Structure 1
Amino acid sequence: MCENFGVNPMRKVMFGDGKSRFSTVDGKPIFHFMNTSTFADYTVVDSACVVKLRPEPRLSLKNLTLLSCGVSTGIGGAWNTANVQAGSSVAIFGLGAVGLAVAEGARARGASKIIGVDINPEKFIRAQEMGITDFINPRDEEKPVHEIISEMTEGGVHYSFECTGNLDVLRESFLSTHEGWGLTVMLGIHASPKLLPLHPMEFFNGRRIVGSVFGDFKGKSQLPHLATECIHKDVKLENFITHELPFEEINKAFDLLITGKSLRCLLHL
């Protein structure tokens, strides 16, 4: 995430070749390529991609950067896609920013048991602050994770969330839900060309699986409401920004992310 408070007005200029280009009012060109604006001072986007948020007393611009992706995906997965109910049980596979956002969303909805699954034991301390009630490290267990979760929850959880992008983990997540009504929400990005590790007949046990993009939020109409909900439901956005660094230390920021020591690092230009 980048933070840049400077806003300069821009203008559209017509050139002799008949093409228009954008520049700041003082004539400096604004370059944009396929709407990619990472680390850019200025960008040009379609009005449909711009969301206006009213200033909220407890949401700084720093926290609002989290709502463009990542945290919104996890919270939306719990609120919109799964519609987690009070008193229900939840299993979350992968406790990165998205997984912990699921935990925040489930906690805000009143879930009674939120099981976190991750191979990094250091994540449990932070996860407890965000609603995780139980922690499983697959490397410490002899049984498959879904069997352990079944024993902990008398047959399986109501909702499971796969946030790793790993097909083997996806299968464990699916099998950790209760037969008859369990729902698995797939939030991880699966780069592998392999197909789902599920047999069609396994769905006849009543378990379901669904994918979710951006937590099923409609950005234009629902992001302003999400910002307000983050206050009223006491979603702790500030816990997701674990580091802040100058842009010159971007490589350090990536190292923190890769080693699992950072959830989100805010880069200051």
Structure 2
Amino acid sequence: MATAGKVIKCKAAVAWAPNQPLCIEEIEVAPPKAQEIRVKIVASGICRSDDHAINGTLSNVKFPVILGHEGAGIVESVGEGVQHFKPGDKVIPLWLPQCGTCRACLNPNNNLCKQYGIGKPIGVQADGTSRFTCKGKAIYNFAYTSTFSEYTVVNEIAVAKIHSDAPLEKVCLIGCGFGTGYGSALNIAKVEKGSTCAVFGLGGIGLSVVIGCKEAGAAKIIGVDTNSDKFNKAKKLGATDCINPNDYQKPVHEVLTEMTDGGLDYCFECIGNTNVMTSALMSTDFGSGTLTVVGVAPPTAKLVFDPMLIVTGRSVKGGLFGGWKSRESIPKLVTESMASTFELDELITHKLPLEKINEGFDLLRKGKSIRTVLLL
């Protein structure tokens, strides 16, 4: 492309400081260096984790920063040494990279890359520098992706090539929310056919768990949320029942235990609230139930419960990105979505231009959206 090797000026939503509205700015995006790829972002979902970064729940975020990690786009140019990508390829940037060679990547039971994954410095590229500048100031990267920008630069192990016909405004959800929820049911909990499940929190991730439970053949899927407006959507996607804890005089775990003759086979906490995690654990069958923690709690939160809850046979699981190995799994999930194995349209309630990103966050915070997709 004509822009290859040159600095690109484009629009991006910059978070200059915590707890402030994002600002649409003109930024400069430097060309990709060795093993890097510059991507023209076409669509990006607004995820709760982006809001956690804004409000300080994610304590390792450096400001000023370009957020966004649930995007899809087209390769604009590649840096030296990149062999498997070329300009024009459709891709999904990966907030959970996969190098394919480290001990974790070679372990079939682990999806957390040790070379370039969780626990590594966030905010810069592998060489310790950023490719973004604005008003003469370096801007930090977020989660290796920064998809709230018309152009971004990612390391080649933090991007997956997808089908050339993939609808980017839909499949962007696979890069985080949908992939996380769907995989939590199939890969982490390993929901069995004919089982009973409850999903606490019916946002984008929770509803994706519902889709996963349905795909696995669960006989009963109970959605739990304090916002009853979400129930119709949950039932459309596969929930057999929905309950609002505020409608009952007794604790929700007692309600669920009565509904399921002694407790559920699988419960999923998709909120990030430790009290709800304990409640969800207590809702499972005392001898064999499984709680899968999907929601991200604040860094200072502690999960405390009576050990007897698990001594009798319950188990607690957790995992990031639904247990998927990102680079190898996302292309397959995109192909499955195109074959209508699962439906993404129902998760998208709003589409907005980048300039209305703060409106999208307001919809999220007020519980009026499932997923808002920004069209860049």
TM range (shorter): 0.7 to 0.9
**Aligned counterpart, 2:349:** 242
Instruction: Report if aligned partners of 1:32, 1:44 keep a CA contact under 8 Å in 2.
Output: no
**CA RMSD between the two structures:** 2.5
Distance 1:83 1:229, change over 3 A: farther
Distance 1:20 1:109, change over 3 A: closer
Amino acid at match of 2:76: N
Residue of 41, 55, 59 corresponding to 2:150: 41
**Aligned counterpart, 1:260:** 367
Give the secondary-structure state (helix, strand or coil) at the position aligned to 1:55.
coil
Q: Does 1:189 align with 2:274?
A: no
Give the secondary-structure state (helix, strand or coil) at the position aligned to 2:151.
coil
Instruction: Output the CA distance in 1 between the equivalents of 2:130 and 2:291.
Output: 46
Q: What do the CA deviations read for 1:87-142 (whole angstroms, capped 9, x no partner)?
A: 11100000000100000011111111000100001010111111111111011101
C-alpha displacement at 1:8, in angstroms?
Answer: 3.3
Give the secondary-structure state (helix, strand or coil) at the position aligned to 2:217.
coil
Instruction: Output the CA distance in 1 between the equivalents of 2:226 and 2:352.
Output: 27
Structure 1 segment 9-28 matched on structure 2, within 5 A: 9=77
Which is worse superposed, 148-157 or 43-52? 43-52
Q: Does 1:95 align with 2:191?
A: no
Instruction: Report if aligned partners of 1:159, 1:184 keep a CA contact under 8 Å in 2.
Output: yes
Instruction: Report if aligned partners of 2:293, 2:319 keep a CA contact under 8 Å in 1.
Output: yes
Give the secondary-structure state (helix, strand or coil) at the position aligned to 1:45.
strand
Structure 1 segment 135-146 matched on structure 2, within 5 A: 135-146=242-253
Distance 1:232 1:179, change over 3 A: farther
Higher strand share: 2
Residue of 189, 204, 215 corresponding to 2:311: 204
**Aligned counterpart, 1:83:** 190
Instruction: Output the CA distance in 2 between the equivalents of 1:43 and 1:100.
Output: 29
Which is worse superposed, 221-230 or 109-118? 221-230
Amino acid at match of 2:169: K
Which is worse superposed, 169-178 or 197-206? 197-206
Instruction: Output the CA distance in 2 between the equivalents of 1:10 and 1:196.
Output: 44
Give the secondary-structure state (helix, strand or coil) at the position aligned to 2:228.
coil
Give the secondary-structure state (helix, strand or coil) at the position aligned to 2:153.
coil
Instruction: Output the CA distance in 2 between the equivalents of 1:123 and 1:20.
Output: 42
Instruction: Output the CA distance in 1 between the equivalents of 2:131 and 2:184.
Output: 37
C-alpha displacement at 1:198, in angstroms?
Answer: 1.1
Give the secondary-structure state (helix, strand or coil) at the position aligned to 1:184.
strand
Instruction: Report if aligned partners of 2:348, 2:373 keep a CA contact under 8 Å in 1.
Output: yes
C-alpha displacement at 1:143, in angstroms?
Answer: 1.1
Distance 1:78 1:233, change over 3 A: farther
Q: What do the CA deviations read for 1:148-177 (whole angstroms, capped 9, x no partner)?
A: 111111111110000111111111100111
| Runs of at least 5 residues in structure 1 that lack an aligned partner in the other structure | 13-18, 24-30
Distance 1:38 1:224, change over 3 A: closer
| Runs of at least 5 residues in structure 2 that lack an aligned partner in the other structure | 1-43, 46-70, 81-127, 133-137
- Once superposed, which parts of structure 1, at least 4 consecutive aligned residues long, lie more than 4 Å away? 2-7, 19-23
Instruction: Report if aligned partners of 1:179, 1:205 keep a CA contact under 8 Å in 2.
Output: yes
Structure 1 segment 115-130 matched on structure 2, within 5 A: 115-130=222-237
TM-score (norm 2): 0.63
